[in-house]
Amino acid sequence: MQLRGTMREDSNGALSIGQINTQALAKKYGTPLYIIDQGCIESNISNFKSWFSSDLVETEIVYASKAFINGYICRLVAENGLGIDVISAGDMDLLKKIQFPMSRVYLHGNAKSKQEIKMALALGVGRIVVDNYDELQRIREICAEYSYRANILLRVNPGVETHTHKYLRTALDSSKFGISLYQNDVLSKIKQLSSDPYVRLMGLHCHIGSQINEEAAFIRTVEIMLNFCAEISAQTGIGLTELNFGGGFAIYYAKRDTPPQLSSLLPAIVRKAEEQIVKRNLSLKKIVIEPGRAIVGEAGTTLYKIEAHKTTYSGRKYLMVDGGMADNPRPALYNAQYEAVVVDKLSVDKTERVAVAGKCCESGDILIEDIMLPPTENGDIIAIAATGAYNYAMSSNYNGLPRPAVVAVKNGQEQLVTKRQELQDIHSCDVATDPL
Ligand code: LLP
């Protein structure tokens, strides 16, 4: 397994993260357990800030909190000066509770309710990213009723094909997100907005998908978006000031992944944008990106206890662990691949070819299909790496499993940041009435 962030092998061949022994964490907090390597997140943030910077325009990094959201990460993001991208009333409620600076909030979503739009306006979120014309009309009506003027970005779909999993592509001509910039009416709609009393069109947004390895797709997107800005300016006279290119930067999970080199890709995105702004004399003042996975993905590790071993009639060997698709649905949903180690056997020869099976009642609940590990016993702890993004955020109580705890570690210190659910939490909304 590739060691990431502050993961180290100590002198006893055991895995530590943030200078804390992972076996000790499993013992203290129980398993399954999500560990968050704060030092890794901080270094990712600082890399994003230094690589995505410009002397010509303002740059902003917005953390896509759908990857992993709780009060702790929102505070960390706020302290580090990033913006945040959220989706719902639930997300906004959390931001309000922890007093996140609302001007740095971007509200996304392709089916925003009236309640969510009203809440966003009342809280003063920085930008509402408008997905479709029905939503635009809804925002205008709410602004008219309550005397607001909303600062919006229009989400457009640049039609860039990517080679990620089909569920992670968002910019096909048939995708559900945004308004295709090849649709006939898009320029006239934008023109109407320039004199709208209820919304202020600040700029455009796009997001081409997630876990994208191809650098060329990102550069192509920048080109298309800048071309479109130039077309808007030429055809309507409107000078947009902001462009948001979304997120989607791939990370390393397992051998098949070839993530982009952010140290060269991010400066290349900035240079491409600067070059076009100057060449076409555009009025753009700010460019934005919205990474989620690339900030938190490799900072997360999940610890599981091996509960049972089995060799099937056909000879396949399984390790059965105490979590699975309830805490990590990604293998079942996207055929995601992961690497793992036995936390106290890093230097033991990997002689066993096994599958790591989750405990849910689904044949598809296999966390790792095929991996070489050292010989193991029941009770051993295994660590699956790169589970920081879209794991806790997508976890469920399937099969009555409590959501695991989340512990942050850094420089030899640890801190519980989300408690493990208790059994009574699992059915807490159950009214448990007699049948009718
Ligand atoms: N901006 C927008 C508008 C998005 O929809 C997303 C992700 C991002 C930014 C951040 O993308 P990232 O940098 O994290 O790739 N559950 C899937 C991923 C879904 C991505 C949803 N949108 C998974 O587990 O792979």
Q: Give the catalytic positions in this structure.
A: 361
Pairing of strands 317-321, 352-357: parallel
Neighbours of 195 (CB within 10 A): 7
Helices (H) and strands (E) in the chain, counts: 12, 21
Answer for the pair 31, 405: CB distance below 8 angstroms, yes or no: no
Measured between alpha carbons, how far is 96 from 102 in angstroms, rounded to an integer? 8
| Ligand 1 atom nearest residue 250's Cα | 15
DSSP string, 67-136: GS--HHHHHHHHHTT-EEEE-SHHHHHHHHHTT--GGGEEE--SS--HHHHHHHHHHT-SEEEE-SHHHH
| Ligand 1 atom nearest residue 210's Cα | 15
Per-residue pLDDT of the chain (436 residues; tens, 9 = 90+): 999 999 999 999 999 999 999 999 999 999 999 999 999 999 999 999 999 999 999 999 999 999 999 999 999 999 999 999 999 999 999 999 999 999 999 999 999 999 999 999 999 999 999 999 999 999 999 999 999 999 999 999 998 877 777 777 766 778 889 999 888 899 999 999 988 999 999 999 999 999 999 999 999 999 999 999 999 999 999 999 999 999 999 999 999 999 999 999 999 999 999 999 999 999 999 999 999 999 999 999 999 999 999 999 999 999 999 999 999 999 999 999 999 999 999 999 999 999 999 999 999 999 999 999 999 999 999 999 999 999 999 999 999 999 999 999 999 999 999 999 999 999 999 999 999 9
Could you tell me if the CB of 297 is within 6 A of ligand 1? no
pLDDT at 167: 72
Measured between alpha carbons, how far is 77 from 84 in angstroms, rounded to an integer? 8
Neighbours of 223 (CB within 10 A): 16
Measured between alpha carbons, how far is 245 from 386 in angstroms, rounded to an integer? 24
| Ligand 1 atom nearest residue 294's Cα | 13
Q: Which tokens is 409 given?
A: 């570690």
pLDDT at 171: 67
Of 45, 29, 12, the closest CA to residue 409 belongs to 29
pLDDT at 16: 98
End-to-end Cα distance, the chain: 54
HEC profile for 225-282? HHHHHHHHHHHHCCCCCEEECCCCECCCCCCCCCCCCHHHHHHHHHHHHHHHHHHCCC
Show me where the domains of the chain are located: 8-37+297-426, 108-291
Could you tell me if the CB of 390 is within 6 A of ligand 1? yes
d(CA 28, ligand 1 centre) in Å: 32
Could you tell me if the CB of 291 is within 6 A of ligand 1? yes
d(CA 232, ligand 1 centre) in Å: 28
d(CA 13, ligand 1 centre) in Å: 35
Fold classification of 108-291 (topology level):
TIM Barrel (3.20.20)
pLDDT at 181: 87
Residue 390 to residues 75, 155, 310: CA-CA distances in angstroms? 19, 22, 29
d(CA 6, ligand 1 centre) in Å: 24
Fold classification of 8-37+297-426 (topology level):
Lyase, Ornithine Decarboxylase; Chain A, domain 1 (2.40.37)
Measured between alpha carbons, how far is 410 from 38 in angstroms, rounded to an integer? 6
Could you tell me if the CB of 23 is within 6 A of ligand 1? no
Residue nearest to atom 16 of ligand 1 (CA): 390
